[in-house]
Chains A and B, each alone.
Chain A
Amino acid sequence: MIRTENLRKRVPLAEGELEILKGIDIEIKAQESVAIIGASGSGKSTLLGLLAGLDVASEGDVWIDGASLAALDEDQRALLRAEKIGFVFQSFQLLPSLTALENVMLPLELHGVTNAKTAAGNFLERVGLAERTDHYPNQLSGGEQQRVAIARAFAAEPAILFADEPTGNLDTATGAHVIDLLFEINREQGTTLVLVTHEQRLADRCDRRLRLHGGALVGEESGHVARDGHSGTPHLRGV
């Protein structure tokens, strides 16, 4: 589903170039859930941006469903995102001037879906916000906003969902609830999930964990780590 080869990202600084990603090679299979973990500044978000085609690599390439991102221009990447990719962000990224319903309708409208309103309504109901459809983001709590964002992300039925610190702005209890929702819908829709987090609890629920340090992939771990500690055994191996 997603494959990278020698993925590098450099940014120019006053005192020279800074390499944020130092040659990343990964492969993520369809319907797999993968967590990218690491300390702040390890390059997690940069990697996510490159995987999702939001940013352009300095070297190397990303293939999504066999399509090389390097070969696409911004508009073609946008079309690819429209077709295959959904997002959930740490800061929710809801449009403040739109109601909850309208925020969920947005990707559907952009894709020209005819019954956008009904579909959006259904997704809001699915995340438990049927009563809050006409509220604006600033009238919703953080957890509610993130649930709207999840409804929006899944409304377009993407093949891949990228989540950037989806619980970063939420308290533990709310975060847990949001995570449950995210994984539930993910399972229902059979979506490939790539999420960036530094929250171990969240990472543990993924099929695989990739650890970044200083822009390089320093570890990979597979298998679920259930919260009760029973289901599955994590396997750690160095790369």
Chain B
Amino acid sequence: MTALRMLLRDWRGGELGVLLAALVVAVAIVSGITAFTTRLQSSLEQESHRFLAADRVVMGSREQPPEWLAEAERLQLRTGRVLTFPSMVYAGDEDMVLASIKAASSEYPLRGELTMSVDAFGTPELRTQGPPPGQVWLDSRMFALLNVNVGDDIYVGDAALQVAAALRNEPDRATGFLGYGPRVLMHIDDIPATNVVQPGSRVRYRILLAGEEAVLEDYVQWLEPQLPAGQEIIDVGRNQRGVGGALERAESFLLLAGSLGVVLAGVAIALAARRFSERHYDYVAIMKSLGTVSGKINRMYGLSLLLLGAVATLIGAALGWGLQALFFTLFAEALPVQPGPAGMRPYIVGGATAVVCLLAFAWPPLSRLGGASPLKVLRRDLPNAVSRSAIDNGLGLGAVLLLMLWYSGDWALTLAVLAGLAASASLAASVAFLLLRGGRLAGMRAGSIWRLALASLQRNGSANTLQVVIFSLAIMLLLILVLVRTSLLEEWQMQLPEGTPNHFLLNIAPDEVNAVRDTLSQTADLAEPLYPMIRGRIVEVNGEALGRSDDEEVGRRERETNLTWARDIPTDNEIIAGEWWDPNTEAALVSVEEGMAESLELEVGDKVRYMIGSQPLDVTVGSIRRLDWESMRPNFFMIFPPAVLRGYPATFMTSFHLDKTEKQFLNQFIRQYPTVTVIEMDVVIEQVRGIINQVSAAIELVLVVILSAGALVLIAGVQSTVDTRLYEGAILRALGARRGLILGGVVIEFAALGFFAGLLATVAAEIAVYVLQTFALDMSYSPHPEIWLLGPVMAVLMIGALGVWNCRRVVSSPPLLVLREL
């Protein structure tokens, strides 16, 4: 009870404001960001499961034994079956197309929806089921290729099936271009009647599974040991559809921001607790003179802290919950799926953060109160032994490490941030000391206000050095966040700017190139050239034949890849080794994509043999390129000089932007060029944009919260020396100093502190952003000249204003009153 009463009295006395606020912010940041990322992750996981049309897929080149399905049904998992294979599709006597057939059971898709339209390129509608037996849905462009309409029959093998609708999109449509033949979706029950699926046909068999995660894991555990070669269980990572990298960086950013937020809140807590304990030293001395034993004092303060922690956890958790709820309410429409619940974990993490912060940052100074000398009631000049010891600092550092690690689960990020903090703190400490000295020397020659202010700065040298270090750390962390956020958003905007190509054209015959280009340029925005595509594969590197492998990555180079030629390096490609060729070169060279070069262990100068059809082609690696696979532009692993490939049979491809309102153009285009394959990516791009907008908004929101933590540090930092300044100011006023002199002195003192802190923070932030973007976030770095002015100026304004605000009483109240209150 005593503790509670004491807490209430301290609250009333305004002693606890910053301490409580800092704790609340720490809990709110941690629980809010944890809840946010948990829900976003679950939403993205659901989203990625839509890409599979299931939670798990068992896929193989042979039909799976019936007991696999039976076991899944026994476990009460939802199941579905899908076959895919290429086959000729006929309509009438003359029209036929090689199509990619998908035959699905009625349960398909288990996750996500099918998009169809009643006629080709019509208005898209969502369906949870494919066509029933006896019917098919065709890719829009097949209507023109086969010259059919809805209601007509087509033939798949021996089976006649009625065209019921246009298939516009499937959740599990593969993104690789090679997966895109024109699609026919039919019911699996019609397969026997077709007679096309025979032993040895190129059929992929899939079992789709959906259900609770734990049950799915049980099933996978059961199946995995007995899985024969050629069968695999597919679970999706998040790295889908071009947003993978962006989202991973966003998540890293949120974790980074959260960690920095906790560090800031920790510093604010430590500062506030120290001031609290300094102000309580007399209190404890009086209580001890009245006969209170130190154990009881420790218990009282310990209990007070616990109570404070509990209150802060409640408020902080509510705030954190509110933050993420507000966010998901605001952006629910942009979300592809409803976010899952976050559970209790974020709030437990938040509460634990409060406990750790209190123990590591607030308790050390308070714990020494019990040892206060009661003699202080007689001799007020006795020093307070509350300054932080090396053990406290170690404890604080340990707690920061623990929290960041627990919170981000990322050693590299944690250590990078800590190393950055330590380096900047020691740099700031030494530079601040020198700057403050220099300031004094300059002040000697200046007017009296300046002399007064700068003398005061130097007199309290160590306290001011600490203050500059704390200010500069806080400002540095805020600058880092603002800069990284700006780069992230810019990068995303650049990645999918307005007019990003949203349709791809494949299989353009060489004699159609000019006509296609003309047709497109009338309606669409054709930014890319038409690239030739020649199928070929690597068979030898430096005279050594490549063996066959099951490894997917190795498999890719054994399969046929698309080769192209180009005179000039494509937009966005960057040479990282060797050099691009002369546009008119006749040399037998190749430029290889970075990832491909790595997996093949290729270096500039290596000899590579390709097989194109049955003809070998020997070339030398002339350069290695880095490119952005998420750019939605045609990208190639292998590029050759035009002269090298000119003789081989090629088709052409390109990408273009087509406005939503111009979709009917595709119908006309397909009729005009029936053999050209059109791939619609506009829906995907819209989705990617939606997610990116949503994550950008999340980042802004989090940034605001972190800024508030930074502001708390600044407030706590200013308050830590306010008493001394008030006292000196009151004495000066008592001696007859004008208000202007004192206020001017205060302004100059804090502005000077702000200037030094801002300058140091800017240097440190620039370095830290370079390190973070280059090594941790996998982004490109460019310097930020704007902050070199902005950082110090903002710091001067903020710290100057905070200082004056906190010291305003020295000029607004009679000096005696100020002195009596101190």
**A93–B282 contact, CB under 8 A?**
yes
Q: Given A54-B374, A102-B9, A110-B287, decide whether A75 and B379 contact each other with a Cβ distance below 8 A.
A: no
Q: In the complex, are the beta carbons of A75 and B295 less than 8 A apart?
A: yes
Query: Are A97 and B12 in contact (CB-based, < 8 A)?
Result: yes
Provide the residues of chain A in CB contact with B380, threshold 8 Å.
91
Decide yes or no: A87 and B287 within 8 Å by CB, A96-B13, A138-B820, A138-B821 being known contacts.
no
Q: B290 is contacted by which of A45, A48, A49, A107 (Cβ under 8 Å)?
A: A107
The smallest C-beta distance from A21 to any residue of chain B, in angstroms, reads 14
Cα of A98 to Cα of B283 in the assembled complex, Å: 10
Cα–Cα distance between A196 and B619 once the two chains are bound (Å): 104
0 or 1 for each of A95-125: is its CB under 8 Å from B? (1 = yes): 1111000100011011100000000000000
Pick the most buried of B15, B291, B817, B821: most chain A CB atoms within 10 A of its CB.
B291
Per-residue A-contact encoding for B1-18, CB less than 8 Å = 1, 0 else: 010010001101101000
Q: Do A164 and B293 touch (CB < 8 A)?
A: no
**In the complex, chain B residues whose CB is within 8 Å of the CB of A110:** 2, 287, 290-292, 296
Per the 8 Å Cβ criterion, residues 59-111 of A in contact with B are 74-75, 78-83, 85, 87, 89, 91, 93, 95-98, 102, 106-107, 109-111
A24 at the interface (CB under 8 A from B): no
Pick the contact of B293 from A52, A79, A98, A102 — CB < 8 Å?
Answer: A79
B residues 354-395 touching A (CB-CB < 8 Å): 373-375, 377-380
Given known pairs A49-B375, A55-B375, the reply for A78 and B292 (CB within 8 Å) is yes
Whether the Cβ atoms of B375 and A54 lie closer than 8 Å is yes
Nearest opposing residue in chain B for A109, CB measure: B2
Within the complex, which residue of B5, B290, B820 is in contact with A87, where a contact is CB–CB below 8 Å?
Answer: B290
Chain B residues near A91: list those with CB within 8 A. 380
Q: With a CB–CB cut-off of 8 A, which chain B residues contact A82?
A: 290-292
Chain B, interface size category, equals 20 to 34
**What A residues does B13 contact at CB under 8 A?**
96-97
Q: How far is the CA of A108 from the CA of B301 in the complex (A)?
A: 19
Q: For the complex, is A156 an interface residue (Cβ under 8 Å from B)?
A: yes
- Least CB distance from B5 to A in Å reads 8
Residues of A with C-beta under 8 A to B507: none
Bound-state Cα–Cα, A49 to B2, Å: 28
Measured in the bound complex, the distance between the Cα atoms of B377 and A52 in whole Å is 12
For A168-205 the 0/1 string (1 means CB < 8 A from B) is 00000000000000000000000000000000000000
- Does B289 contact A81, Cβ atoms closer than 8 Å? yes
Give the residues in chain A near B451, CB-CB below 8 Å: none
Q: Which residue of A lies closest to B288 (CB)?
A: A78
Instruction: Name the B residues within 8 Å of A106 (CB-CB).
Output: 286-287, 290
CA distance A49 to B377 in the complex (A): 9
A79 to B292, CA, bound (A): 7
Q: Does B708 contact A (CB under 8 A)?
A: no
Indicate if the CB atoms of B378 and A107 lie closer than 8 Å: no
Point out the residues of chain B lying under 8 angstroms from A83, CB to CB: 291
Residues of A within 8 A of B292 (CB): 78, 82, 110
Minimal Cβ-Cβ distance residue in B for A145:
B820
CB distance from B718 to the nearest CB of A (A): 21
- With the chains together, A89 CA to B379 CA distance in Å? 10
- A87 to B9: give the CA distance in the assembly, Å: 23
A48: nearest chain-B partner, CB-CB = B378
Whether A85 pairs with B2 at a CB distance below 8 angstroms is: no
**Would B2 and A96 count as touching, CB distance under 8 A?**
no
Q: A89-B378, A96-B821, A109-B2 given as contacts; is B286 within 8 A of A81 (CB)?
A: no
In the complex, A72→B350 CA distance in Å? Answer: 45
Task: Report the minimal beta-carbon distance from B507 to chain A, rounded to whole angstroms.
Answer: 82
**In this assembly, does B294 line the interface, its C-beta being within 8 Å of a C-beta of chain A?**
yes
A49/B378 in contact, CB under 8 A:
yes
Residues B378 and A78 in contact, CB atoms below 8 Å apart: no
Q: A80 to B15: give the CA distance in the assembly, Å.
A: 31
Contacting residues of chain B (264-282) with chain A, CB-CB under 8 angstroms: 282
CA distance A97 to B292 in the complex (A): 19
Most A CB within 10 A of own CB, among B2, B5, B287, B377: B377
Question: B817 contacts A138, CB within 8 Å?
Answer: yes
Closest to B2 in A: A109
**A168–B13 CA distance with the chains assembled, in angstroms:** 28
Contacts of A78 in B (CB 8 A): 288, 291-294, 374
Beta-carbon nearest neighbor of A50 in chain B: B375
- Looking at A54, A74, A109, A111, the one whose CB has the most chain B CB atoms below 10 A away is A54
A54-B289 in contact (CB<8A): yes
CB contact under 8 A between A75 and B294, given known A87-B377, A97-B12: yes
- Please, how many angstroms separate the alpha-carbon atoms of A52 and B10 in the complex? 29
What's the Cα separation between A85 and B374 when bound, in Å?
13
Determine whether the beta carbon of A95 is less than 8 Å from that of B289: no
Please state if A45 and B378 are interface contacts (CB–CB under 8 Å): yes
Is the beta-carbon distance between A95 and B286 smaller than 8 angstroms?
yes
Please give the distance in Å from A117's CB to the nearest CB on chain B: 11
Please tell me if the beta carbons of A164 and B378 are within 8 angstroms of each other in the complex.
yes
Look across to chain A and name the residue whose beta carbon is closest to the beta carbon of B296: A110
With A and B bound together, what is the CA distance between A48 and B10 in angstroms?
31
Interface centre among B2, B10, B287, B374 (most CB of A within 10 A): B374
Closest to A94 in B: B286
Chain A positions 34 through 60: 1 when the CB is less than 8 Å from some CB of chain B, otherwise 0: 000000000001001100101100000
- Report how far A95 CA is from B283 CA in the complex, Å: 6
Chain A residues lying within 8 Å of B820, measured Cβ to Cβ, are: 138
- CB-CB under 8 A from A95, the residues of chain B are 282-283, 286
Query: Which residue of chain A is the closest to B374 with respect to CB atoms?
Result: A54
- CB–CB B377/A97 < 8 A: no
The answer to whether B15 touches A97 (Cβ under 8 A) is yes
Q: CA–CA, A172 to B5, complex, Å?
A: 37
Give the shortest distance, in Å, between B564 (CB) and chain A (any CB). 78
Q: Are A85 and B282 in contact (CB under 8 A)?
A: no
Instruction: Mark contacts of B295-316 with chain A using CB atoms, 8 A cut-off: 1 yes-contact digit, 0 otherwise.
Output: 1100000000000000000000
Show 19 residue pairs from A and B whose CB-CB distance is below 8 angstroms, ordered by the A residue.
Answer: A48-B378, A49-B375, A54-B289, A54-B373, A74-B294, A75-B293, A81-B289, A82-B290, A83-B291, A85-B291, A91-B380, A93-B377, A95-B283, A96-B13, A97-B12, A98-B9, A106-B290, A107-B290, A110-B292
Binding site for B on A (CB under 8 A): 45, 48-49, 52, 54-55, 74-75, 78-83, 85, 87, 89, 91, 93, 95-98, 102, 106-107, 109-111, 138, 156, 164
Contacts A54-B373, A82-B292, A106-B286 aside, 5 further interface pairs with beta carbons under 8 A come to A81-B288, A82-B291, A89-B377, A91-B380, A106-B290
Query: What are the 10 tightest A-B residue pairs by CB atom distance, in nearest-first order?
Result: A82-B291, A97-B13, A81-B291, A75-B293, A107-B290, A78-B293, A54-B375, A54-B374, A55-B375, A78-B291
